[in-house]
Amino acid sequence: MKPGIMDVVFLFGFLIFSMKYAAGAPAPPLDKDDIFAPYVKGAPKITTVISEETKDGVKVTKLRFASAEGSKEGAVKDCEIYAILARPADSAGLKLPGILICHGGGGMAFEEGAIAWAKLGYVAIMPDLPGYGANDKMQSISRVTKMQFGADQVIPLKPTPYVCVLFDAVVSGLRAFNLLEAQPDVDPQKLCMTGISWGGYMVTMLSGLLGDRVKATFNLYGSGFYQIDAIGSGVLAKMDEADRDAWLKCFDAGTRLNRCRAAYLMYSGTNDIFFKPPSVMAKFDAIPGNKYMCFGPNKSHYMSLPGGPVRWEYPITAEVEPAFFAYVLAGNNPPLPELSALAVPREGKTLRFTVKNCPDQAIGWFYVSWLPDQPRDWSARDWARLEAVRGGKGEFTCAIPESLGSFDWFGGITFTLRAGTIIRPMSLSTKIYRCEEQAAK
């Protein structure tokens, strides 16, 4: 779906506003009338400790904490959110990094994810995120456990925005983060977040709301800027302008990214049917700095390059995550590679991108997708790999095949990321650029 004039104006204005803030500067204040302002700070009360046990050197606590939810009448009510808190069993007296784990659509809190991170030395919390999860299977005490998940709960705004179930989910995420931050064995300067799909939406939203308090964020597939080209774009397009603007202000994960100060890594699929490249790239542009991304070709909701998911059921969603977080928490020294490219190839015959802080062993590559006269949807694209030639000063190039007319392209590198004893493959890419046929002649 192409953005309308108002969407373009909104995006342009937002990006200009974001550019005023350097990545190293303190996050600007959150608007006092922000719907989530009352929930950004303050550890919630633990209402129930369901169980405590030690498993394979990890202390696992299952609990519920106090949170807030909306209602069909548009009022705010109390609720209780189920979460799993896991930490190394011998963490007393230590200050450990903390991580919030956000499940995807149709998911819920599960102990394997929290335990996996605790085994790596983190205090980990994984809450239910009611509103886009497996609502009927959650152990939270919440209105959404009686609902089926669907757009009719995610999009509505009337009689007040609190009717939207995303209010419940975001408050749950904020409360869980605050609870994690308040743990006596957590270092508040080393707080991280990871999320997949709708969980990627969540960590993007929370990175903006929480600002300086988040050190590093990993996002697998999720995005913001729903009005551009993402899940829900069609429903938003049918709303009148005032209602659409109100929904975006309250619930779009891109609208607060000028406050993001986390080192931010996102992996996404070129053919994703939920969060498509235009929305992903708009979100990437809105983050002030310390940001890294990679598109994986020819897959929807899957990252097909090294560093991506090991398998769907793996408790840590992507292979690169432990190394990325460890690297950032250790000081990010030397800095991670930064890729940049021209929107159209210089001289019209060669694709080029450059890499600042390029590792010596990095392997470069390009992917291209031919555009017929009537371009197909992103999810139907075919991407072909072209090998890159490495030059000096981190430059990578490849010749454009004569058979190509207009096409989209992106370039990237794969290398080994070492963070102490953690060694993982990592892939990073540029954004996707378009080369029109006449520019290649």
For residue 386, what are its two tokens? 């072209």
Q: Select the CATH number that applies to the domain covering 338-440 from these four: 1.20.58.340, 2.60.40.10, 2.40.30.10, 2.60.120.1360.
A: 2.60.40.10
The fold of the 5-329 domain, in CATH, is Rossmann fold (3.40.50)
pLDDT at position 404: 74
Written as one letter, the residue type at 331 is G
How many Å apart are CA 147 and CA 263, to the nearest integer? 36
Determine the Cα angle at 159 with ends 151 and 240, to 5°.
65
Question: What are the angstrom distances between the C-alpha of 232 and each of 155, 247, 251, 275?
Answer: 8, 11, 12, 10
Residue-level pLDDT, tens digit, the chain, 441 residues: 333 333 333 333 444 344 444 456 899 999 999 999 999 999 999 999 999 999 999 999 999 999 999 998 889 999 999 999 999 999 889 999 999 999 998 899 999 999 999 999 999 999 999 988 888 889 999 998 877 665 556 777 788 999 999 999 999 999 999 999 999 999 999 999 999 999 999 999 999 999 999 999 999 999 999 888 877 788 888 888 999 999 999 999 999 999 999 999 999 999 999 999 999 999 999 999 899 999 999 999 999 899 998 765 678 999 999 999 999 999 998 999 999 997 665 556 789 999 999 999 999 999 999 887 666 789 999 999 999 999 999 999 998 877 778 889 999 999 999 999 999 999 999 999 988 775 444
pLDDT at 362: 97
Rounded CA-CA distance 87/98 in Å is: 9
- The pLDDT assigned to 34 comes to 97
Give the per-residue pLDDT at 3: 38
Cβ-based neighbour number of residue 76 at 10 Å: 16
pLDDT of residue 313: 61
Name the strand (E) or helix (H) holding 217. Answer: strand 216-220
**pLDDT score, position 308:** 94
Collapsing DSSP to helix, strand or coil, 129 comes out as coil
DSSP 275: B
Cα gap 295→182, rounded to integer Å? 36
**Kind of pairing, strands 96-102 and 123-127?**
parallel
| Sequence-ordered list of residues with C-beta below 8 angstroms from that of 393, at least 6 positions apart, any chain | 354
Residues of the chain with CATH 2.60.40.10: 338-440
pLDDT at residue 344 in the model: 61
Residue 355 CB partners (closer than 8 Å, separation 6+): 337, 338, 339, 362, 364, 394, 395, 396, 413
Q: What pLDDT, on the 0 to 100 scale, is given for residue 438? A: 57
Ranges of CATH 3.40.50.1820 domains, the chain: 5-329
